[in-house]
Amino acid sequence: MALEDAKTQIDHAFTRGDPRGLSYENAFAGATSFLRRRYTKDLAGIDIAVTGLPFDQAVTNRPGCRFGPRAIREASSLQTYDPPYGWDGFDPLSAFAVADYGDMAFDYANVAEVPGRVEAHIASILDQGAAALSLGGDHFLTLPILRAHAAKYGPLALIQFDAHSDSWQDDDPTRIDHGTFVYKAVREGLIDPARSATIGIRTTNPDMLGIANLDARSVHETGPNATAARVREIVGDAPAYLTFDIDCLDPAFAPGTGTPVWGGLSSGQAAICLRELAGLNVVGGDVVEVSPPYDTTGATAIAGAHVATEILCLWGWTRRR
């Protein structure tokens, strides 16, 4: 069936009718959208929308993750033929109506207005009754995304995969910095530190603001299953937002990022940990800091596309029939 469909399917980003179902167009051809979902701004009947936030002017080291959403979409074309592996046959693409909401429009030279535009952009998805899955862009973006989600759900549990805590103290509301979004989110009451956890940390910050720190070494020593079990204990039944900074992965697996740190998780560890979080009430998520210019192989974007698909699965797992 798939071979026959491949002979006729092309440009599902524009030609797809039913928002549900797998796609069999050739991975190397056609217009790229996330998992070959249809581009649309009309989310009537859509369960979850994927959107790109191509902003990287808050980085402390190497820019380039503005190209992340485009690269992740292209890499995702390798995953559209079969249900995601390891989910007991659960296929979110067939069970739910998924759309690509396209990228956020903004003036790259007016950085100060970006936070408000991001919050409004995500709110526009949530207000239409869909969940939001974001492709970054740098990690500052998670702050205005959290503002939009907290306005709907109240304080959230944060599940953060990262090499850095991003909890550096910053009491200047005008600063736009990818290393301080957690601090500001705690100060603003967007997240509940007691129900939150960060996984993969391997840089020093003495104040984790009460957020559980399951650092990279602990993952290596106890394993991803035990790590996920601890996250499940911490988060409980709270509405949770999952953010995955691709630098959580060791540079051997994801070299294309702005602030790489050795000793990180492997792709396999991350995959197991994510899948073992199934059952948590994940209401939204993002993948950030994929910077294609620093990875000629495309491996980082491939990892980012897989992480985004896993977040889609986590969101759908508790909502499946």
Would you list which residues are annotated within the binding site for Mn(2+)?
139, 162, 164, 166, 245, 247
* Total number of residues shown for the chain: 321
Please give the radius of gyration of the chain, using alpha carbons only, rounded to the nearest integer. Answer: 18
Is residue 178 helix, strand or coil? coil
CB 113 within 8 A of CB 119: no
Is residue 118 helix, strand or coil? helix
- Residues 264, 269, 274: CA angle, nearest 5 degrees: 110
CA 225/CA 118 separation, integer angstroms: 34
Distance of CA 26 to the CA centre of its chain: 25
Task: Determine phi and psi for 49, rounding to 5 degrees.
Answer: -115, 135
CA 47/CA 54 separation, integer angstroms: 23
Partnered with residue 213 across adjacent β-strands are 198
One-letter amino acid identity for 216?
Answer: A
CA 274/CA 161 separation, integer angstroms: 10
User: Which residues are known binding-site members?
Assistant: 139, 162, 164, 166, 245, 247
Cβ count near 170 (within 10 Å): 15
